[in-house]
Amino acid sequence: MSAAAAAPARRDPASSDALFRYVLRLADTSLVLGQRLGEWVGHAPALEEDLGLANLALDLLGQARLLLTYAGEIEGKGRDEDALAFLRDAPEFLNLTLAEQPNGDFAQTIVRQWLIDAWQIELYEGLMASADTRLAAIAAKALKETRYHYRFSSGWLVRLGDGTGESQARAQQAVDSLWRFTAELFTADEIDERMDAAGIAPQLAAAAERWGRRVEEDLGRATLVLPAPQPHPWHGKRGVHTEHLGHLLGEMQHLQRTYPGVRW
């Protein structure tokens, strides 16, 4: 199917590389989170939640495919979505550190999902007004799915937090252990600043404020405690990852690495 999009605008090499990296950050966060959720298939606490997590994973994979395809076109070296997903090593992945954290128990998976869903809502709402029309179109599509994901994850956050003593303790533990990865979501580096200046990406500080209000309100409804701000030595979006990503990629990329170019 031929894309209806116009030929990519000519950019100088530095802007083109910054945009490539920015789009990869979005793509890799969705891809890695989707792969994590896929690990639950057949293992979730109940069939309905198994289906729910698999559906979330499918949407995230779909969003990642659109973004990876676009990233490959920006790069202009002939890498398609598969080459980018299956043939890059961990330091070339630019996902948020939060997305690669292990599933843990159901509470940890839900808290990780809820934190990222709330972030992606702010991100995609901002990107809908992007000067980059392709990103704006992908964001408008992804936002509908993300709002639905958030309904699921925030619903479970409240059910777990405001549930039994055991579920509340586990939900609070998940919030406490994952909170340290959230500062990375809104800490702008030179790529974020460049995208903001070019009108491509939303300003992170404003998005952070809205995200913070939403998260605090949800925690209140879930009778959970907001952790204190923490420093952020995490730089997944710059390619510096926790050890967990390598293991995830080992499983995800196994087939393509073992049988290069395999088709079925």
Partner 1 sequence: MATGPGANQTATEREVWRLLAGVPDPEIPVLSIVDLGIVRYVRCGAEGRLHVGITPTYTGCPATVAIRSATRAALDEAGHREALLEEVLSPPWTSDWLTPAGRAKLAAFGIAPPAASAAAAAAGRVSEPLCCPRCGSPSSERISEFGSTPCKAHYVCSACHEPFDHFKCI
Question: Please, which residues have CB within 8 angstroms of residue 5's CB and are 6 or more apart in sequence?
Answer: 134
Pick the piece of the chain touching partner 1 (CB under 8 A) from 136-144, 158-166, 219-227, 255-263. Answer: 136-144
Told to check if 7 binds partner 1 by CB under 8 A, we report no
Torsion 126-68-88-76 (CA) sign = negative
Using CA atoms, how far apart are residues 183 and 108, in angstroms rounded to an integer?
A: 18
Tokens of 233: 């030595």
Question: Please, which residues have CB within 8 angstroms of residue 159's CB and are 6 or more apart in sequence?
Answer: 167
Using CA atoms, how far apart are residues 186 and 203, in angstroms rounded to an integer?
A: 9
Nearer to partner 1, 65 or 237 (CB): 65
* Residue 237 · residue 93 · CB < 8 Å: no
Tokens 């995200």, residue?
211
Nearer to partner 1, 133 or 230 (CB): 133
- The size of the interface with partner 1 (CB under 8 A), counted in residues, is 32
Query: Considering the complex, what minimum distance in angstroms separates the CB of residue 232 from partner 1?
Result: 30
Quick one: which of 41, 51, 131, 206 contacts partner 1 (CB under 8 A)?
Answer: 51
DSSP β-bridge partners for residue 236:
none
Count of Cβ atoms closer than 10 Å to residue 111 Cβ: 30
Using CA atoms, how far apart are residues 64 and 82, in angstroms rounded to an integer?
A: 11
Nearer to partner 1, 69 or 97 (CB): 69
Nearer to partner 1, 17 or 49 (CB): 49
Quick one: which of 83, 136, 198, 240 contacts partner 1 (CB under 8 A)?
Answer: 136
Stretch 11-50: interaction string toward partner 1, x if CB under 8 A: -------------------------------------xx-
Q: Which helix (H) or strand (E) holds 194?
A: helix 190-197
Stretch 59-98: interaction string toward partner 1, x if CB under 8 A: xxxxx-xx--------------------------------
Nearer to partner 1, 201 or 204 (CB): 201
Using CA atoms, how far apart are residues 243 and 1, in angstroms rounded to an integer?
A: 39
Nearer to partner 1, 83 or 128 (CB): 128
Query: Considering the complex, what minimum distance in angstroms separates the CB of residue 121 from partner 1?
Result: 11
Tokens 């990865």, residue?
181
3-state secondary structure of 227: coil
Q: Which 138-167 residues touch partner 1, going by CB under 8 A?
A: 138, 140-142, 144-145, 147-148, 151-152, 155
Binding residues for partner 1 (CB under 8 A): 1-4, 48-49, 51-52, 54-55, 58-63, 65-66, 133, 136-138, 140-142, 144-145, 147-148, 151-152, 155
